[in-house]
Structure 1
Amino acid sequence: MAALTGKVAWVTGAGSGIGQAAAIALAKEGATVVLTGRRKGPLDQTAAMIKKAGGKSEVKAGDLMKAAVVTRIAKGIEKAYGRCDILVNNAGLNILERKWSQLTPASAETVIDGNLASAFYCVTAVLPMMRKRKDGVLIHTSSMAGRYPSILSGAAYSAAKHGVVAMSHTINMEECVNGIRSCAVCPGEVATPILDKRPVPITKAERARMAQSEDVGDLIRYIACLPAHVVINEVMINPTWNRGYVAALQRAKS
């Protein structure tokens, strides 16, 4: 029997990249996966991939930056399944104009709501279901920018992803007595569509050297399959050819 048979997982940002890879990996482990994102088309594609692999999923599209939408989707999950065992808080975004000299209140709101507020809404929506069962795993895609402020990622993105890490740790501080575990996953550069929002374009060769969505998806699967008496509070995953390290080595030689 697969490790997650009978479990229900809610994966946000499931239409592409890390979210899609995680959803497929969890479904292969036997979980029924609820797929959420703003665009239904990509979610349907993920659902088709899960079906082809022999897994089960359901598409529930919606804008997670709206608290009422999150509440509606969570209530639908509880009504349909009576439980939510795993939350993969993966929805996120960034913008091209990310310097302080370019940011506006509206653009900052977009990045902070897309990466932090939406994650908070999902956590508060699923915790009551998890408390009832005295069990549950929450896995949040933060970033290396959530540990080390990054001009490359931008002020708003760095701040929001730092907030995701803090959110995850406080969940463990309060909910450990309820058997609930929370993990902040902090990837470095991953070859996902969000790279298209970089101010400096990333080449195909550079993307090939990065961590891939499937690498992070498999890490999320591993975390979700851990026994209930242990938690990975936080974990980093990076490409071996770390462009930041390589640039530092080149500067040291010059």
Structure 2
Amino acid sequence: MGALQGRIAWVTGAGSGIGQAAAIALAREGATVVLTGRRKEPLQQTAATIKDDGGKAVVRPGDLMKASVVGRIATDIEKAFGRLDILVNNAGLNITERSWRQLKPEGIDLVIEGNLSSAFYCATAVLPMMRRQKGGVLIHTASMAGRVVSPLSGTAYTAAKHAVVAMSHSLNMEECVNGIRSCVVCPGEVATPILDKRPVPVSKEDRAKMVQSEDCGDLIRYVACLPPHVCINEVHITPTWNRGYVAALQQAHVGAGKK
């Protein structure tokens, strides 16, 4: 019997990447997983993988950038199951026009709403359930862009992910008295479809060296399986072959050669 037998988990952005991997990992531990994302077909594919593996999954598509949609899905979860034990706040997006020279209001709105507003909407929607049951864990996918400012991820994405980190810590400050825990996961480069939005393409060779979606999914599973008295506030997961470190080393060697 899995450690999450009888638990209910809601995973957003569950149609691909980290969300899909997390949903599969949680289901293997026995959780019934509610899958949400904007597109129904990828969610159905995730659900089919879970069910083929003997797990339980329910598809609830929706645009999480709309608070009314988030509220409706949370209400559906409460009506169907009477509780929610785990929220994996994973939905997110980025754009190719990332620099200040390129940013336009519609791009800013899309990134902030897709990464930050949606996370707030989901958290506020599930907290009443978790308060009533005196327990629950919220796991948010942020990014190392939420800790380090660099041009790579873009200004809007970096600002949004910094805010997600702050959001998670503030949840622990207020909700610890209700037995509710919040963990923010800050991945470095992960080989997910979001890389396709990079202004500079990433090679297959580099993607193979990155953290994989399944690595993050297993980390999320681990956090979800911890006993109620344990809270991992924040965790970083990065590739061993860290392209930022490698570039800095190469630059240092070039500089040393000029002396």
Poorly superposed stretches of 4+, deviation over 2 Å: none
Correspondence for 1:103: 103
Using the alignment, how far apart are the partners of 2:251 and 2:62 within structure 1? 46
Counterpart check, 1:240 vs 2:244: no
Q: Size of the alignment, in residue pairs?
A: 254
Counterpart check, 1:252 vs 2:252: yes
Correspondence for 2:157: 157
Larger radius of gyration: 2
Unaligned runs of 5+ in 1: none
Correspondence for 1:184: 184
Correspondence for 1:120: 120
- TM-score, normalised to structure 1's length? 1.00
Counterpart check, 1:133 vs 2:133: yes
Correspondence for 2:43: 43
Correspondence for 1:15: 15
Counterpart residue identity of residue 18, structure 1:
I
Aligned to 2:220, the other structure's residue is in SS state: helix
Using the alignment, how far apart are the partners of 1:250 and 1:148 within structure 2? 20
Using the alignment, how far apart are the partners of 2:82 and 2:100 within structure 1? 45
Correspondence for 1:144: 144
Correspondence for 2:82: 82
Question: Shift in Å at residue 97 of structure 1?
Answer: 0.4
Once the two structures are aligned, what percentage of the paired residues are identical?
Answer: 76
Correspondence for 1:175: 175
Question: Shift in Å at residue 149 of structure 1?
Answer: 1.3
Using the alignment, how far apart are the partners of 2:150 and 2:235 within structure 1? 18
Aligned to 1:185, the other structure's residue is in SS state: strand
Aligned to 1:229, the other structure's residue is in SS state: coil
Question: Shift in Å at residue 150 of structure 1?
Answer: 2.0
Counterpart residue identity of residue 219, structure 2:
L
Using the alignment, how far apart are the partners of 1:158 and 1:252 within structure 2? 26
Correspondence for 2:55: 55
CA deviation map 1:215-242 (0-9, x unaligned): 0000000000000001000000000000
Unaligned runs of 5+ in 2: 255-259
Using the alignment, how far apart are the partners of 2:253 and 2:97 within structure 1? 32
Question: Shift in Å at residue 199 of structure 1?
Answer: 0.1
Using the alignment, how far apart are the partners of 2:249 and 2:150 within structure 1? 19
Question: Cα RMSD (Å) of the superposition?
Answer: 0.4
Using the alignment, how far apart are the partners of 1:192 and 1:227 within structure 2? 30
Aligned to 2:190, the other structure's residue is in SS state: coil
Correspondence for 1:29: 29
Correspondence for 2:215: 215
Correspondence for 2:206: 206
